[in-house]
Amino acid sequence: MIMADIAATRISPVPAFRIDRGPVTTVLLALLAATVAIGTLVDARHAALFLIGSLLGVSLYHGSFGFTGGWRRFVIERRGRAIRTQMLMIAVAAIAFIPLIAAGSAFGRPLVGAVAPVGVSVIVGAAMFGLGMQLGGGCGSGTLFTVGGGSSRMLVTLLFFIVGAVLGTAHLPWWLEQPSLPSISLGTELGVPLALIVTLAGLGLVAAVSALVERRAHGSLETVKAPSTAGWQRLLHGPWPLVGAGLALAALNIATLLTAGHPWSITYGFGLWGAKAAAAVGVPVATWEFWTWPAQAKALQASVLEDVTSVMDFGIILGAALAAGLAGKFAPKAALPFASLLAAAIGGILMGYGARLSFGCNIGALFSGIASGSVHGWLWFASAFIGSFAGVWARPLFGLDGFRKP
């Protein structure tokens, strides 16, 4: 008691932070053990990607950086700060991605962008994803970082996200037979300088429209409240400024491209986990067309620790858990009515299925896709936003807030 009193006196000039010591200690040990295990069982590159994933988790949690809430706030309250931050984040990544991908390699490692065909499967899949993310309460990254923060509702969303992703792999070959343009890379079609100009202009236009809508509705843009913490305390305990978190995510996506050879992606891992689980209980997923394609068959046969997306997803969950513990907000208490859980399940399935059809989620298709100069990323954005609008309308049906309060 005396020692505690002395310690309390010594730190009195600095506001005391309540951290959740149990979860922080457990997660730190888990991060250390997992890094060593992945480095030993696979290689140092995968261990580095796991750590990049954990930093993504910390950034997502401390910045409360999600697409779902930001898009909902824009359509309900006409506040576009989150959307403008998302555009800035993508722009920063694009400035690095487009020249790097055009170069084809960096530091001796081949680089490939998140470039995919532009077709019906993207339109339908992204719209399903947008609807699902409003019901599920988070997108791909949002689901992972809130699961890491100890949310039991989002655990339900994640489970059904995985189910939907597996169902998506079952039907994807049929969807890919529907009308489609080929993959269109702006860097390849226009050259690096023009591709950058077009991409940055497009992102700037979206940001400008969000600002215009906000000014018309409120007369001015939203101001940010001064933080109650600063310096190292804010870095450790959060919350981070939204722009700071967005820039950190852009930097970490660039680090992912340079380390993995491809941009940050999330939902491929969900389909793989579900397929492995289904195979373990006797479902013949290995005979499904998707899982017979060489890269997918190889992933299904290999250890999940060899899958870059999976190890990064594990890192995101643990990184977010660490951040939540450091913020003293791990595993918040929350009521879980049945209707809310039903929305989480439906939303999860829609997101998983939609992400597989549309070549990714907000991260793999929107963030990494547009930053790679792929036209499918823009189509994904438009379709998902329309789906998200429908999702905001549907939320009150499940007792969630939306255009009308529940």
Q: According to the binding rule CB under 8 A, does residue 206 interact with another protein?
A: no
Does 176 bind another protein (CB under 8 A)? Our answer is yes
For 113, which DSSP code? Answer: -
Q: Sign of dihedral through CA atoms 285, 287, 291, 294? A: positive
| Nearer of residues 83 and 116 to another protein, judged by Cβ | 116
Tokens 């609807």 correspond to 131
Residue among 43, 95, 106 nearest 371 (CA)? 95
Is 302 a binder of another protein (CB under 8 A)?
Answer: yes
Binding flags for another protein, 335-354, as an x/- string (CB under 8 A): --------------------
Contact assessment for residue 317 and residue 323, using Cβ atoms and an 8 Å cutoff: no
Report the first-to-last Cα separation within the chain, whole angstroms: 48
The distance of closest approach from Cβ of residue 305 to another protein in the complex, given in angstroms and rounded to an integer, is 6
Helix ranges (H only) for 219-293 are 231-237, 242-260, 267-280
Q: Considering the rule CB under 8 A, would residue 44 count as an interface residue with another protein?
A: no
Site mask, another protein, residues 94-123, x = CB under 8 A? ----------xx----xxxxxxxx-x----
The region of 19-27, 44-52, 226-234, 391-399 touching another protein under the rule CB under 8 A is 19-27
Q: Is 238 in the site for another protein (CB under 8 A)?
A: no
Q: Can you list the alpha helix ranges (DSSP code H) found in 63-139? A: 67-77, 81-103, 120-136
17 sits near another protein (criterion: CB under 8 A): no
Q: Please choose, out of 47-55, 199-207, 235-243, 267-275, the segment that lies near another protein by the rule CB under 8 A.
A: 267-275
In the three-class reduction of DSSP (H, G, I as helix; E, B as strand; rest coil), residue 180 is classed as strand
Token pair 């080929």 in the structure block, residue: 182
Q: Between the CA of residue 143 and those of 96, 146, 222, what are the distances in Å?
A: 27, 5, 26
User: Is the Cβ of residue 155 or residue 342 nearer to another protein in the bound state?
Assistant: 155
Q: Of 118-157, which residues contact another protein (CB under 8 A)?
A: 119, 150-152, 155
Which CB sits closer to another protein, 66 or 364?
364
- Any idea what the Cα angle at residue 373 is, between residues 99 and 126, rounded to 5°? 150
Q: How far is the CB of 295 from another protein (least distance, A)?
A: 4
Q: Taking the complex as a whole, how short is the minimal distance between the CB of residue 9 and another protein, in angstroms?
A: 27
